[in-house]
Amino acid sequence: MYLVRQCQQALNDISTRHAAGLYWVPGHAGVRGNEIADKLARSGSVQRFVGPEPFLGVCRQNIRRKMKLWMEKQHLALWHGPCSTQRQARELISVPDLAIRARLLSFNRTQTKVVIGLRTGHSTLRRHQYVMGLSNNPTCGKCGTGEETSGHILCKCEALASLRHAHLLFGP
């Protein structure tokens, strides 16, 4: 990036005194300026690096990409690891997904609260209220079978089957 800026600055300096432009020319076709540039590039590539140490011949973009991949791998290992908590969230979120993140960011505050509550289990559903000590019954209030969790409401509750069919399977 620094070299690109240097080239841009050099072109700007030249253009204040001379008409300057950038043109594509065929390589190794005897174009004088291109032959000189090739010769200089060859001699530059065999010279020893001079600059701040330590020198890493890796561009910033590759470092960022490697770091991002490493972080994603660490995140997945923690998410699926034996020490991971968030049982309900892992039931509904199998892997980090940037598309889902983008969709969530498009919601308003109320919608986001509901969706995050359902996805993480931190909601007003009975199981969470029971765990928090705010209710003495975790059983589903709609069907009376099973604990009222996000997974139950979204995937299993018989009392909500027709709503689920209409909104989750064939919704927009």
- Is 104 near Zn ion (CB under 5 A)? no
Binding segment for Zn ion (CB under 5 A), chosen from 12-20, 28-36, 69-77, 136-144, is 136-144
- Is 125 near Zn ion (CB under 5 A)? no
Q: Residue 125 or residue 140: which is nearer to Zn ion going by CB?
A: 140
The rounded distance, in Å, linking the Cα atoms of 43 and 15 is 27
For residue 128, give both structure tokens.
Answer: 């969470």
Q: Which one among 119, 140, 149, 150 touches Zn ion, defined by CB under 5 A?
A: 140
**Total residues binding Zn ion (CB under 5 A):** 4
Q: Residue 31 or residue 147: which is nearer to Zn ion going by CB?
A: 147
- Is 118 near Zn ion (CB under 5 A)? no
Q: Residue 79 or residue 91: which is nearer to Zn ion going by CB?
A: 91
CB 132, min distance to Zn ion, A: 20
Binding site for Zn ion (CB under 5 A): 140, 142-143, 157
